[in-house]
Amino acid sequence: MGGNIDVVEAEIAPQTCCRKDSSKKKAKIEAESKRHYMLASDEIFKTLMTLSIPSIISMGLNAIYNVVDSMYLGRSSSLDLAAVSLFMVVEIGVFMSLNVSLGFGASSVISPALGKGDFVSANKALTYFISLLVLLNCLLPAIFIPLLEPILEFLGANEYTMERAKQYGLIMSAGPIGYGLTAAMGPMLRVENKATLSMWRQIFSSVLNIIFDPILIFALNLGTQGAAISTVSSQMVVGIYMIWFYFFPKRSGATVNLAWKEAFSSIDWPMIGKICSLGLGQFFASIGNQVAVVIFNRSFKKFLDFQGIVTYQAVMGAMARLSSLVVMPAMGINLGFIPLIGYNIGRNRYDRVYKALKYAFAAMILIGGGLIIAVEILGVPISKAFGTEPDFLEVAPKCLRISVSGVWLYAFPALIMGYYQVQHKIAVSLALGISQPIFSVAFAILFPKSSLGVEGVFYVGPAAFICTTLLSIPVLFVMVRDIKKKIRETVIINDEDTDPIEMVETKQEVKV
């Protein structure tokens, strides 16, 4: 009797396994069909908002965390806020920007490949991206930890802020992989049409940060060290999840999979070059203000006494965090815009690209304008949230209003660079990206020497945004003309002619 049961179980087991495999395959095909329909056929504004709103929420919450973090540090001590502000140049300008630029570069390769149904190229690009991410974040600590003190001296640290800046910088320099596994993965998840998952990943990291900060900064009295531990640990928790997501795709439902054998049996150097270079425009655009901050911190010594230096460095820190409230939600629109146009460029649907461009411009300008108006009205209460010292409150409200006034112009260069990234036209994207730091550095040198005096440093950001926008407007006209020409020339194939189920089955064959 027992033997018969064993035989029956042996016969049933393969059938059950086949049914499970078939059910999983069917669910994956349905998900892929839905993703294809949304990107290729659904109403453009709806699709852009579906991809962007989770990004706006997550980026906005991350910006709020940055502001709250600065508030905690400012309430702890102006010296703490000034010290952290010094290392933020490295944290944002190097660690975050390099990782995010790799993410943008990889997504600019993967998105058009998915539009063409080329899963082999998409899988190889993901594999190269992960490998480059690990290599980059092994090199960064090896460079910055031994050179931390001279780097901080160059950034403008003095005998009062050096020790606190070192405490913060040492911990942050040991954990840049956190930026790689959180910030850099955002564009990848949006390419996968998993914008909601990307949102929850960012929300979870920000909430952990907000919880850890008061415990570590105040309860355990760790000051700047507490802020750094909070940031690194919350990023690593989310980073562990991202490792699971891509290394176990059958459970996570990842569309693009790691393909180590295919990627490294014959290395595609041109693809690696594109991944590294396509995001450089975004990298240079993001470091523009950080380069200017270095010049400010060094020039403060010429104009101010000790208390004045600390006050202005603290205001610079508050200004940087507050500006992120404008830039990050606008960046969320850009993060939804890139996979949408990339997929449709891959399918030669430039009519949809043109509509996406119009809606993205309008949304970014409205978001930026609304937040700038809020800062204009609430400048004094916002300043009080960052610090209560009289010297700080005397300078902060006016400077915060000035510094965020031109940030709404971020839309122009950002969307243009995004379009040319996806088109793999590196020169245009790079030229616009480099223009931002060039203008920032030039104005950072000139303005403090003018009649504006030391307050001239706060006009640098808006002036650089205005000049970069003026430079990008002719490029925008050429870009729109190019898109309209391609709309006229392209024979638009009905989306029903491309069967998403067939695309998924092709992918299954490739994996086998």
For the chain, what is the domain count? 1
Q: What is the pLDDT of residue 139?
A: 92
Q: Assess if residue 26 is contained within a domain.
A: no
In the numeric block, the tokens 């965020």 are attached to: 404
Q: Assess if residue 15 is contained within a domain.
A: no
Q: Assess if residue 76 is contained within a domain.
A: yes
CA distance 35 to 340: 11
Q: What is the pLDDT of residue 289?
A: 64
- The helix or strand, by DSSP H or E, that contains position 148, with its residue range, turns out to be helix 148-155
Q: What is the pLDDT of residue 491?
A: 56
390 band by pLDDT with thresholds 50, 70 and 90:
confident
Contacting residues for 365 by C-beta, under 8 A, at least 6 apart: 408, 411
Q: What is the pLDDT of residue 501?
A: 40
| Bigger pLDDT: 486 vs 22 | 486
Q: What is the pLDDT of residue 445?
A: 82
Cα–Cα distances (Å) from 482 to 346, 366, 416, in that order, read 16, 26, 12
Q: Assess if residue 13 is contained within a domain.
A: no
Q: What is the mean pLDDT of the chain?
A: 78
**Residue range(s) defining the domain that contains residue 228:** 42-511
101-110, pLDDT tens digit by residue?
Answer: 888 889 888 8
Q: Assess if residue 30 is contained within a domain.
A: no
Q: Assess if residue 33 is contained within a domain.
A: no
Q: What's the length of the chain?
A: 512
Q: What is the pLDDT of residue 147?
A: 92
Cα–Cα distances (Å) from 75 to 57, 93, 160, 394, 505, in that order, read 26, 25, 18, 16, 58
362-379, pLDDT tens digit by residue?
Answer: 888 887 777 778 777 776
- Check if the beta carbon of residue 114 is closer than 8 Å to that of residue 343: yes
Lowest mean pLDDT among 237-246, 293-302, 400-409: 293-302
| Bigger pLDDT: 389 vs 262 | 262
Q: Assess if residue 503 is contained within a domain.
A: yes
CA distance 338 to 295: 33
Among residues 338, 316, 473, the alpha carbon closest in space to that of 409 is found at: 473
81-135, pLDDT tens digit by residue?
Answer: 778 878 887 887 788 888 888 888 898 888 888 878 888 999 999 999 999 999 9
Among residues 506, 495, 479, the alpha carbon closest in space to that of 358 is found at: 479
278-337, pLDDT tens digit by residue?
Answer: 887 777 767 766 777 777 777 676 666 666 777 776 777 777 666 666 677 777 788 788
Classify residue 94 by its DSSP letter. Answer: I
- Helices 460-489 and 426-446, packing angle to 10 deg: 160
Buried b / exposed e along 236-273 (16+ C-beta atoms within 10 A): bebbebbeebbeebeeeebbbbbbeebbeeeebeebbe
Q: Assess if residue 36 is contained within a domain.
A: no
